[in-house]
C-alpha cells in the first residue's frame, strides 16, 4: 500500500510505502500519476492530513477486495453540491453515509484505487489539475465502463459531525456536467438555476462549452483482474420465488427449465393468484409430477406482486434468492453461472440481462446498475430477510425500483451482467398482478402517485425539481396543448394532484389502513 497524505487536496505533506517516505511531486494530481506508474501493483490510498490518524489500515484489504474498485468516504468535504441532482436522478447521487454505498461521487478526504487501474485513465485525464475533479472524473467515467465505485465508511474510524460543504463552485459544476453528461443536460442545469436558484450563471455556462467531452468515452478495463476474496468459497444454495396469475403453461415451462439446471434450486416458492371468488388452483402438476427440488405452493385470491413476494420471502431458507418472472426461459447453467459470478465479483445482487426474442443487448459491460429487476435478479438472502416489498406500490408500479433502493440503503450493491441472459417471452395475458383502474385515474395526476411516492422517498430536493422539469419537457411535444402557458398550468395541476395522492398513500402506513383508504375513495 502507498499512503498519500495531503493538505486540503492542494499540497502533498508526505507519501509513505511500508513506513518509508517516497519522493514525488508535491502536487496531488501529478503525485497520483507518478505513483501509479511506479507502483502499478500497489493500492494507492489518499487521505487528508487531519484524518490520517483515523485511517483503519487493517480494514483496507476488506474494502479493496479486488482490483477493479475505487472507494472513498467524505468526512469533512464533498466535491459537487447537491445541485448535481438537477440533471441526475440515478441512485448514485443521494449517498447513504452509514453503509458501503455505490456512487461515483468521490471525496479527497480518504479513498483508494489500485495503481494499474488508475493508469487506464491517465491519457484522458492527465491534464486535470484539481484533485477532487480528477477523482470524480475517474469514478464517473469508470463506473460506466465497469469500475466499481463506492462510498465506504469502513475506511476510517470517525464520523461526520456536520453538513458537508462542497469544494466545487458553479464553474466546476457546469464544466463537470458538460464533460460527463449529454450536452442537453448542461442546458437543463442552466434552466434549473434560473428557475429554482434565481441565478443566471452565464459565465459558468460559457466556460463549460469549451471543455473537452468525456461522455460515453470508452475505457478498456477488461485486462484488470476481477477476483474477490469470496472466489474460493463453495457454491451456495438458492431458492426461487415465482408469483403467477393465469399463465399455467408458461409457469410449467419455467419449472422444466429449473428442473434441468446444472445447479438445482433448493426450493421453488410459487405464489399462485386468482381473484375470482371460489376459484381453485390450476396447478395440480405441482403435486402430481416429480420435481428434483422442494415445491412450496401458495394459492390466494388476493392479487398483487408486493404481497406475493413478501409471502414468498418468509419461506426462504437458502443463502440466495432468485426473483423470477413466470414467463421466462433459462439456459441450463444459468443458476450456477450466476452464483459463480456473484462470488467472483464479491457482489450481493446480480441483475441478469433479460431480453425478448431478437432483442439486442444495449449495455455490454458488467457494471453497477441504477435499477433493479424484481423478476430477473439474484440477491443475497441475508438482505432479503430484513426487507420487504412496500405494498403502497400494489396500486401501481415502482415496487422494483423501491426494493432496489432498500437494498442499496442496506449496503447491497446491484450489479448488471450482460453475458448471463434470460429470454423474456412477454406472455400476452396474466402475470402476477391484476390491473384495474386506480382510484386516482379521474384526477389525471402526473406522474403516477406511486412513482411520486418513490420520488418523495429517495430523491433530494434538487433531484425532485430536476425530475419535474424533465417530465414537463418530455410530454410537451406529445400532447395536444401547444400553448406553453396553458400546458404548464395543466402539468402543475397534475403534479399537485400526484403529490396529494402520494402523501395520502404514504400516510396510510399500514396495509389495512391503505386498503380501507383505497376502498373509501
CA distances from 240 to 235, 268, 316, 424 (A): 16, 5, 8, 17
Q: Of 487, 505, 492, which Cα lies nearest the Cα of 445?
A: 492
The residue ranges of every structural domain in the chain are: 2-209, 238-424, 441-520
Question: What is the phi/psi pair of residue 158, to 5°?
Answer: -160, 165
pLDDT the model gives residue 247: 93
Poorest-pLDDT segment among 346-360, 481-495, 506-520: 506-520
The CA distance from 132 to 149, in Å, is 15
The mean per-residue pLDDT over the stretch 369-375 comes to: 95
Residues 6+ apart with CB under 8 A from 314: none
Is pLDDT at 172 greater than 80 in this prediction? yes
pLDDT the model gives residue 209: 98
Rounded to two decimals, the pTM is 0.94
Strand 349-355 with 415-424, pairing? parallel
The CA distance from 170 to 130, in Å, is 15
pLDDT the model gives residue 515: 58
Q: Per mean pLDDT, which of 59-73, 226-240, 434-448, 466-480 is the most reliable?
A: 59-73
pLDDT the model gives residue 416: 98
Three-class secondary structure assignment of 132-175: HHHHHHHHHHHHHCCCEEEECHHHECCCCCCCCEECCCHHHHHH
Query: Tell me, what DSSP letter sits at residue 81?
Result: -
Q: Hey, which bits of 434-489 come out as E strands?
A: none
Poorest-pLDDT segment among 335-344, 439-448, 512-521: 512-521
The mean per-residue pLDDT over the stretch 359-373 comes to: 95
CB 506 within 8 A of CB 456: yes
Domain covering 238-424 in this structure, CATH number: 3.90.550.10
Is pLDDT at 29 greater than 70 in this prediction? yes
* More confident of the two residues 475 and 35: 35
Question: What is the phi/psi pair of residue 393, to 5°?
Answer: -80, 0
pLDDT the model gives residue 33: 97
The CA distance from 443 to 518, in Å, is 14
Is pLDDT at 202 greater than 90 in this prediction? yes
The CA distance from 90 to 85, in Å, is 9
Is pLDDT at 521 greater than 80 in this prediction? no
The confidence band for 481, taking pLDDT boundaries of 50, 70 and 90, is: confident
Residue 316 parent element (H or E): none
Is pLDDT at 428 greater than 80 in this prediction? no
Q: Of 360, 361, 334, 342, which Cα lies nearest the Cα of 420?
A: 334
What's the pLDDT tens digit per position in 217-252? Answer: 999 999 998 877 776 778 799 999 999 999 999 999
Peptide bond into 447 cis (omega under 30): yes
Residue whose C-alpha cell is 410459487? 270
Biggest CA–CA distance in the chain, Å, is: 81
Side-chain half-sphere CA neighbours of 267 within 13 A: 16
With a pLDDT cut of 70, the percent of the chain lying above it is 95
Poorest-pLDDT segment among 115-119, 218-222, 484-488: 484-488
CB 5 within 8 A of CB 52: yes
CA distances from 5 to 46, 50, 204 (A): 6, 9, 31
Residues 6+ apart with CB under 8 A from 5: 12, 13, 14, 15, 16, 46, 47, 48, 49, 52
pLDDT the model gives residue 517: 53
Is pLDDT at 513 greater than 70 in this prediction? no
The CA distance from 206 to 50, in Å, is 37
pLDDT the model gives residue 226: 83
Is pLDDT at 514 greater than 70 in this prediction? no
Poorest-pLDDT segment among 97-106, 226-235, 251-260, 393-402: 226-235
The CA distance from 167 to 173, in Å, is 10
pLDDT the model gives residue 159: 74
CB 378 within 8 A of CB 352: yes
Amino acid at each position: 500500500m502507498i499512503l498519500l497524505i495531503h493538505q486540503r487536496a492542494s499540497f502533498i505533506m508526505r507519501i509513505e510505502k511500508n513506513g518509508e517516505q517516497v519522493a514525488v511531486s508535491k502536487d496531488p494530481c501529478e503525485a497520483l500519476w507518478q505513483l501509479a506508474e511506479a507502483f502499478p501493483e500497489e493500492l494507492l490510498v489518499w487521505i487528508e492530513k487531519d484524518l490520517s490518524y483515523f485511517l483503519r489500515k487493517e480494514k483496507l484489504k476488506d474494502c479493496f477486495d479486488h482490483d477493479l474498485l475505487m472507494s472513498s468516504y467524505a468526512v469533512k468535504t464533498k466535491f459537487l453540491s447537491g445541485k448535481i441532482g438537477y440533471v441526475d436522478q440515478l441512485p448514485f447521487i443521494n449517498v447513504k453515509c452509514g453503509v458501503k454505498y455505490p456512487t461515483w461521487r468521490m471525496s479527497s478526504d480518504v479513498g483508494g484505487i489500485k495503481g494499474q487501474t488508475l493508469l487506464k485513465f491517465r491519457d484522458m485525464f492527465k491534464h486535470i489539475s484539481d484533485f477532487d475533479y480528477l477523482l470524480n472524473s475517474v469514478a464517473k467515467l469508470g463506473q460506466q465502463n465497469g469500475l466499481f465505485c463506492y462510498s465506504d465508511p469502513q475506511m476510517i474510524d470517525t464520523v461526520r459531525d456536520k453538513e458537508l460543504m462542497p469544494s466545487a463552485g458553479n464553474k466546476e459544476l457546469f464544466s463537470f456536467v458538460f464533460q460527463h453528461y449529454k450536452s442537453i443536460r448542461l442546458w437543463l442545469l442552466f434552466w434549473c438555476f434560473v428557475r429554482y436558484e434565481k441565478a443566471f450563471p452565464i459565465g459558468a455556462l460559457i466556460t463549460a462549452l469549451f471543455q473537452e467531452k468525456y461522455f460515453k468515452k470508452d475505457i478498456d478495463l477488461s485486462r484488470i483482474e476481477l477476483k474477490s476474496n469470496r472466489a474460493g468459497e463453495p457454491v451456495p444454495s438458492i431458492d426461487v420465488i415465482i408469483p403467477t396469475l393465469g399463465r399455467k403453461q408458461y409457469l410449467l415451462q419455467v419449472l422444466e427449465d429449473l428442473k434441468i439446471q446444472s445447479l438445482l434450486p433448493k426450493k421453488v416458492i410459487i405464489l399462485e393468484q386468482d381473484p375470482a371468488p371460489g376459484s381453485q388452483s390450476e396447478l395440480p402438476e405441482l403435486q402430481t409430477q416429480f420435481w428434483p427440488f422442494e415445491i412450496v405452493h401458495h394459492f390466494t385470491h388476493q392479487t398483487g406482486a408486493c404481497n406475493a413476494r413478501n409471502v414468498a420471502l418468509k419461506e426462504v431458507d437458502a443463502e440466495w434468492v432468485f426473483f423470477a418472472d413466470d414467463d421466462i426461459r433459462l439456459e441450463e447453467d444459468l443458476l450456477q453461472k450466476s452464483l459463480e459470478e456473484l462470488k467472483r465479483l464479491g457482489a450481493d445482487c446480480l441483475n441478469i440481462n433479460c431480453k425478448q426474442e431478437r432483442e439486442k443487448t444495449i449495455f455490454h459491460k458488467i457494471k453497477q446498475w441504477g435499477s433493479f429487476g424484481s423478476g430477473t435478479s439474484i440477491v443475497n438472502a441475508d438482505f432479503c430477510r430484513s426487507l420487504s416489498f412496500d405494498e403502497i406500490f400494489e396500486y401501481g408500479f415502482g415496487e422494483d425500483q423501491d426494493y432496489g433502493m432498500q437494498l442499496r440503503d442496506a449496503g447491497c450493491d446491484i450489479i448488471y451482467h450482460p453475458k448471463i441472459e434470460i429470454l423474456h417471452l412477454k406472455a400476452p395475458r396474466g402475470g402476477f398482478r391484476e390491473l384495474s383502474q386506480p382510484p386516482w385515474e379521474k384526477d389525471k395526476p402526473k406522474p403516477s402517485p406511486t412513482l411520486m411516492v418513490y420520488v418523495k422517498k429517495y430523491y433530494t430536493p434538487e433531484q425532485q425539481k430536476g425530475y419535474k422539469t424533465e417530465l414537463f419537457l418530455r410530454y410537451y411535444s406529445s400532447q395536444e396543448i401547444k400553448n406553453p402557458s396553458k400546458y404548464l398550468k395543466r402539468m402543475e395541476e397534475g403534479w399537485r394532484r400526484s403529490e396529494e395522492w402520494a402523501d395520502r398513500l404514504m400516510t396510510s402506513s399500514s396495509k389495512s389502513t391503505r386498503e380501507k383508504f383505497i376502498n373509501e375513495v
